[in-house]
Amino acid sequence: MLRGFFKGIKDLIYPNFCLACKNRICPAEEEDVICAQCWQKLERNLPPFCASCGRRLDKLSIVKNICSSCLKSKFYFDRAFSPCAYTGTIKKLIHEFKYSGKDYLGEPLGRLMNEFIQDYRLPIEYLDFIIPVPLHKSRMREREFNQAQILSEKVSKEFDKKVLPDVLVRNRPTRTQTDLAFEERRKNVERSFTVRDPGSIKGANILLIDDVLTTGATSSEAAKALKDSGARIIFVMTLAS
């Protein structure tokens, strides 16, 4: 009785609000941080997928099996996958996750990745390790957590894959990629990653995890560092692209 009373008082003072639409979450969803309506509004990446970046192919690109953007680009990863298109609700949620200290969003967002892996039967059983794209130590001090590592841990737990959080290192600070053009992004991250203990990944197949793939410059440069150190196949997974 008292527990219910105090919970009612708490809900009046600190009601649960959806982190995407900011509307109050109904009692049936009170353990969630994203309401059912916003969850349904997520724009999913659906097949056919580009054989490089993993985005949905338009009708003109289906025959080639690769999108027009990737035809003009050289990536060091072998293939990328994303459950969502980087727009609308998922864009808001990723922003909350990265910049507002809401690390607990890793739980539902990690679930998106896990469901995508299962639904499309990605060959995760053939991958040896999961590696999160690292933050530079100065950025890590600002945010206090690496969103890519949180997502990596969620995938690791679901599929029983070992995470190597310290093998890939960001060796210098870089500007945020948000407002940079493609070539500026590429130069911004060029030679910005180093691999510690290359022997630990020699011949390994790796799932590289980050939050967003836009031009692919960051993931490609990270994959290059891993392949230069002996890794064999690099798949990239992000929440959105």
Tell me which amino acid residue 203 is: G
Structural domain of residue 182, as residue ranges?
A: 42-237
* pLDDT of the residue at 7: 43
CA distances from 17 to 12, 27, 57, 220 (A): 12, 11, 35, 37
Does residue 198 share a domain with residue 84?
A: yes
Q: What is the pLDDT of residue 181?
A: 67
The CATH code of the domain that includes 91 is 3.40.50
Could you list the mean pLDDT of each consecutive 10-residue stretch along the chain, which spans 241 residues? 44 65 74 85 95 92 89 95 97 93 93 97 97 93 93 98 97 72 73 94 98 94 97 98 95
CA dihedral over 95, 100, 101, 106, signed as positive or negative = negative
For residue 48, whether the previous peptide bond is cis, meaning omega lies within 30 degrees of 0, is yes
Looking at the fold, whether 93 and 206 belong to one and the same domain comes out as yes
Query: Would you state the pLDDT for residue 14?
Result: 44
Number of domains forming the structure of the chain: 2
Q: What secondary structure letter does DSSP report for 49?
A: B
pLDDT at 177: 64
pLDDT of residue 9: 42
Same structural domain, 96 and 157: yes
20 with 79, same domain: the answer is no
Tokens of 164: 């190597």
3-state secondary structure of 28: helix
Dihedral through CA 75, CA 194, CA 83, CA 216, nearest 10? Answer: -30
The maximal CA–CA distance of the chain, rounded, in angstroms, is 65
**CA gap 208, 151 in Å, rounded:** 11
Same-domain pairing of 66 and 173:
yes
Residues 199 and 171 in one domain: yes
